[in-house]
């Protein structure tokens, strides 16, 4: 049987643009993984790795116009958004190059023997080494930053791990172009092209997670798809780490004092956040707890005006569009659910933004309204009107894990009056990033960033954004009583590589 073709599709029309590739066979997946495995040695030198990452950023920037054009044709996200996303991707590659140069990620710890300790301490030397080949599953909504050259790939390469990417079917042509750019960058440093493999097709994704030479995986996508791969990773004869970002409601709590003080501004800010990128951000605020009184009415009035002025937009593919329209219809059919601005089909190929309202008491108890506590991908949010603090606590107690949680406070509450501190504490167990008087859309690439959260937001406690993302692809190893001549350079007393480390209990930089 001939392999199925892989087509590039224009989401603005639903029409096929060109055949890009064919779905990878089991033999082709095996070949890609083995080529990546064979390329491990070329990433051993940290200087080479850092130079490769910087060259990759340079090459991506040099190909910017062509890449952005291809990305827009397959995602309809627009040149401005995509140009910014590509710049973020290049910044991320260079940031990881800096982390590799610094070397702190190796977490070097050296303890000399101490016979006076109880029990006695032998000579112990610890650092971290790369896991091996990493499988990366691209996201649809960030064709640069969470795809072939995105954070999973950048952090894995920085750790010294070759990568095989399962391309997302929503941007296969762009995936091929970006992979070619990265291989060109690798060649400039005598790194084999197999260091970055690329495969297409659903079955290829399954074969990748099951391949015995794949040592870990990173995923960004749906709860259903991510959970299936997570289960497959755990069911292997040798289970492997699976770092998946699956889904998030990203709750927002607006206090009555905040709504009274600046309800109009909060409503406008919410509209901008929940419609950004046609509502296709993983950190879109999907549930908002707002007061039921007059202060909440002012917020809703502002939200209504701002969302009503939002033009219909194109989602990443027609399957997502159909799911959005069906999901909104199911939610609006629930008792006591109203839609001041009705979301749904905006045209044959577009969707219109909107929001739903419901009494918070409906969400505080188990029942049919549980659907409103599930993510609906697209430009819609649910505003739950609460009568008192007990209803807020009741709804929060029923929420699953999230990437973000936000609280909107008044000036007095931010200064320590009222329930501000208590709400921050209440939200902390629910999410990996807690915001005060901000909006969750927009994830800065910074050393302190954490993009993850309790399940189902992610399947592990790690982050996929920020410098510590590199930790996912490393494991610690300790050498005990090993002569200096047999130790790796990173663990020798004279520190020939100049690494930051903890030496006999003291930090050295």
Whole-number average pLDDT of the chain:
97
Least confident of 172-176, 366-370, 396-400, 504-508: 366-370
Q: Decide if pLDDT at 2 tops 80.
A: no
What DSSP line would sit under 405-462, residue for residue?
Answer: EEEE--HHHHTT-TTHHHHHHHHGGGEEEEEESS-S------TT-----TTTTBSSS-
Q: Decide if pLDDT at 311 tops 80.
A: yes
Burial of 224 (0-12, 13-18, 19+ CB in 10 A): exposed
User: For the chain, how long is the longest CA-to-CA vector?
Assistant: 78
CATH of domain 24-246+461-473: 3.40.605.10
21 sits in which H/E element: strand 15-22
Mean pLDDT, residues 406-429 taken together: 95
Q: What is the pLDDT of residue 1?
A: 57
Collect all residues with Cβ–Cβ distance below 8 Å to 270 and sequence separation of at least 6.
Answer: 252, 285, 288, 299, 303, 381, 439
Mean pLDDT, residues 34-46 taken together: 98
Express as a percent the part of the chain with pLDDT over 90. Answer: 96
Which residues in 131-262 belong to E strands, given as ranges? 133-137, 163-166, 196-199, 214-220, 242-245, 251-254
Q: What is the pLDDT of residue 509?
A: 83
Q: Looking up tokens 């995936």, which residue turns up?
A: 175
Kindly report, residue by residue over 101-133, the tens digit of the pLDDT.
Answer: 999 999 999 999 999 999 999 999 999 999 999
- The count of other CB atoms within 10 Å of the CB of residue 294 is 12
**How do strand 5-10 and strand 15-22 relate by DSSP bridges?**
antiparallel
* pTM for the structure as a whole: 0.96
In 3-state terms, what secondary structure has residue 253?
strand
User: In degrees rounded to 5, what are phi and psi of residue 8?
Assistant: -90, 130
282 is annotated as an active-site residue: yes
Q: How far apart are CA 267 and CA 302, in angstroms?
A: 5
CATH of domain 251-436: 3.40.309.10
Q: What is the pLDDT of residue 149?
A: 98
Domain 24-246+461-473 shares a fold with domain 251-436: no
Choice among 90, 161, 282, 376 that is catalytic: 282
Nearest to 431 by CA among 238, 275, 167, 252: 252
User: In degrees rounded to 5, what are phi and psi of residue 114?
Assistant: -140, 100
Q: Is the Cβ–Cβ distance between 120 and 113 less than 8 Å?
A: yes
Number of helices and strands (H, E) in the chain? 15, 21
Q: Decide if pLDDT at 100 tops 80.
A: yes
Mean pLDDT, residues 433-443 taken together: 97
415: β partners: none
Q: Decide if pLDDT at 434 tops 60.
A: yes
Q: What is the pLDDT of residue 368?
A: 85
Kindly report, residue by residue over 453-502, the tens digit of the pLDDT.
Answer: 999 999 999 999 999 999 999 999 999 999 999 999 999 999 999 999 99
16-20 long-range contacts (CB < 8 A, ≥24 apart) are 17/73, 17/74, 17/173, 18/173, 20/172, 20/173, 20/176, 20/200
At 490, list the tokens: 């990173």
Q: What is the pLDDT of residue 347?
A: 86
- The count of other CB atoms within 10 Å of the CB of residue 486 is 8
- Which letter does DSSP use for residue 313 in this model? B
Q: Decide if pLDDT at 360 tops 90.
A: yes
Q: Where are the domains of the chain?
A: 24-246+461-473, 251-436
Q: What angle do CA 39, 43, 49 make, to 5 degrees?
A: 135
50 sits in which H/E element: helix 46-62
Choice among 176, 245, 375, 391 that is catalytic: 245
Dihedral sign, CA of 390, 395, 401, 407?
Answer: negative
In 3-state terms, what secondary structure has residue 344?
strand
């Amino acid at each position: 049987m001939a392999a199925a073709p892989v087509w590039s599709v224009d989401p603005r029309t639903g029409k096929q643009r060109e055949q890009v590739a064919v779905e990878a066979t089991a033999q082709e997946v095996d070949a890609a993984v083995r080529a990546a495995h064979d390329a491990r040695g070329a990433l051993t030198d940290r200087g080479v790795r850092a130079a490769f990452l910087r060259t990759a950023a340079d090459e991506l920037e040099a190909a910017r116009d062509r890449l952005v054009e291809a990305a827009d044709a397959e995602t309809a996200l627009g040149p401005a958004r995509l140009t910014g996303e590509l710049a973020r991707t290049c910044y991320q590659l260079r940031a990881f190059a800096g982390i590799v140069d610094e070397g702190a990620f190796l977490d070097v710890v050296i303890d000399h023997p101490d016979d006076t300790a109880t029990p006695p301490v032998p000579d112990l030397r610890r650092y971290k080494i790369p896991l091996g080949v990493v499988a990366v599953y691209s996201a649809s909504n960030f064709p640069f930053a969470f795809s072939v050259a995105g954070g999973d790939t950048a952090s894995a390469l920085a750790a010294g791990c070759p990568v095989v990417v399962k391309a997302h079917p929503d941007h296969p042509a762009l995936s091929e172009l970006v992979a070619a750019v990265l291989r060109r960058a690798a060649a400039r440093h005598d790194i084999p092209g197999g260091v970055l493999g690329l495969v297409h097709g659903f079955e290829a994704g399954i074969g990748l997670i099951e391949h015995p030479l794949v040592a870990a995986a990173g995923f960004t996508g749906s709860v259903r798809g991510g959970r299936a791969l997570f289960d497959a990773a755990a069911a292997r004869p040798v289970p492997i780490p699976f770092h998946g970002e699956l889904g998030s409601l990203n709750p927002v709590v607006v206090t009555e004092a905040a709504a009274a003080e600046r309800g109009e501004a909060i409503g406008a800010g919410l509209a901008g956040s929940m419609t950004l990128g046609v509502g296709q951000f993983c950190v879109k605020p999907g549930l908002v707890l707002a007061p039921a009184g007059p202060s909440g009415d002012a917020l809703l009035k502002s939200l209504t005006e701002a969302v009503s002025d939002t033009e219909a937009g194109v989602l990443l593919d027609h399957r997502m569009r159909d799911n959005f329209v069906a999901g909104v219809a199911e939610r609006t059919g629930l008792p006591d659910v109203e839609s001041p601005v009705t979301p749904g089909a905006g045209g044959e190929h577009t969707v219109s933004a909107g929001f739903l309202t419901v009494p918070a008491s409906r969400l505080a108890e188990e029942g049919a309204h549980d659907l409103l506590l599930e993510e609906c991908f697209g430009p819609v949010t649910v505003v739950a009107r609460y009568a008192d603090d007990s209803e807020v606590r009741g709804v929060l107690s029923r929420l699953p894990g999230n990437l973000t949680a936000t609280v909107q406070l008044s000036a007095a509450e931010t200064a320590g009056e009222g329930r501000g501190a208590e709400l921050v504490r209440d939200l902390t167990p629910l999410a990996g990033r807690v915001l005060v008087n901000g909006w969750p859309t927009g994830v800065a690439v910074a050393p302190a960033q954490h993009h993850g959260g309790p399940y189902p937001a992610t399947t592990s406690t790690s982050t996929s954004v920020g410098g510590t993302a590199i930790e996912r692809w490393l494991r610690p190893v300790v050498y005990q009583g090993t002569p200096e001549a047999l130790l790796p350079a990173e663990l020798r007393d004279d520190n020939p590589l100049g690494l930051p480390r903890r030496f006999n209990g003291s930090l050295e930089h």
